[in-house]
Amino acid sequence: MEQLFDKKGFICDMDGVIYHGNLLLPGVREFLDWLKETGKEFLFMTNSAQYTPRELQQKLERMGLEVDESHFYTSALATARFLSSQSPGCSAFVIGEHGIQNALYDAGITYNDVNPEYVVVGEDRGYGLDVITKAIRLVNAGAKLIGTNYDLTGPTEDGIVPACRAFLAPIELATGKQAYYVGKPNPLMMRTGIKMLGVHSAEAVIIGDRMDTDIVAGIESGLDTVLVLSGVSTVEECRRFPYRPRLIIDGVGVIPATYKAEQSLR
């Protein structure tokens, strides 16, 4: 744990690490206070493309946490950044909510349900047969398929819900085309996060609840890795992967509590 205290930058997942749905997880308030008090650079990085950074800021504010908007980076922003770098001014048919829609619009990418260059899929509570069928036809007509993130499921206060990869599955199966996923564990998103922190990868750590996105993303990007058991992955599931996090803890509240205990002994 002492090795963790020396890190300069912290990248933290949100769902399953900071909250479940609208329920703040235990120890998060103390963890955030510790980050600020010890002068750590930190970034909340979420694979969810549903919300804008301002909406995430306001969500934490409703939970009693004060975090500046600059501390958030989403797969929606990463997707918009990727598409604008690949094909500036392109158009896309979008399955997703205002987080991804706003990010694409701000990047100069227009909505197109006739002959788009891309079909972009994120989480969407309005997901149904009509949009699936539309997406399949557009991909078959030549549109390139993009997924905002690689999460198959996500945690909420009521249990597991389907996420982006589950929404993409019927489109991939029906078209025979594999989507390109922009969010974690894609190193594109991680490299941008490290640049935003302003630290070297060796000086940073990622804290996440998923072995298949957060932890592998950290390993492949040269970050230290911490798995929390407050979200999706369990200790039993962790053993089935060929890679391991350096540290497994119950939740982020363990970090400030351990730091405080060690300081009191000095």
Residue 158 to residues 100, 120, 163: CA-CA distances in angstroms? 24, 28, 15
Distance between CA 43 and CA 41 in Å, rounded? 7
- Respond yes or no: is residue 13 known to be catalytic: yes
Distance of CA 187 to the CA centre of its chain: 12
Q: Go through 59-73 and write b for each residue having 16 or more CB atoms within 10 A of its CB, e for each that does not.
A: bbeeeebebeeebbb
209 in Cβ contact with 17 (< 8 Å):
yes
CA torsion, ordered 223, 185, 40, 246, to nearest 10 deg: -40
- Respond yes or no: is residue 224 known to be catalytic: no
Looking at residue 126, its amino acid is G
167 in Cβ contact with 145 (< 8 Å):
no
Structure tokens at 79: 């997707």
Distance between CA 56 and CA 67 in Å, rounded? 9
Q: 159-162 and 153-156 as β-strands: parallel, antiparallel, unpaired?
A: antiparallel
Distance between CA 33 and CA 52 in Å, rounded? 23
Among 13, 151, 209, 214, which one carries the catalytic annotation?
Answer: 13
260 in Cβ contact with 35 (< 8 Å):
no
Rg (CA), the chain: 19
Among 6, 15, 68, 151, which one carries the catalytic annotation?
Answer: 15
Catalytic residue numbers, as ranges: 13, 15
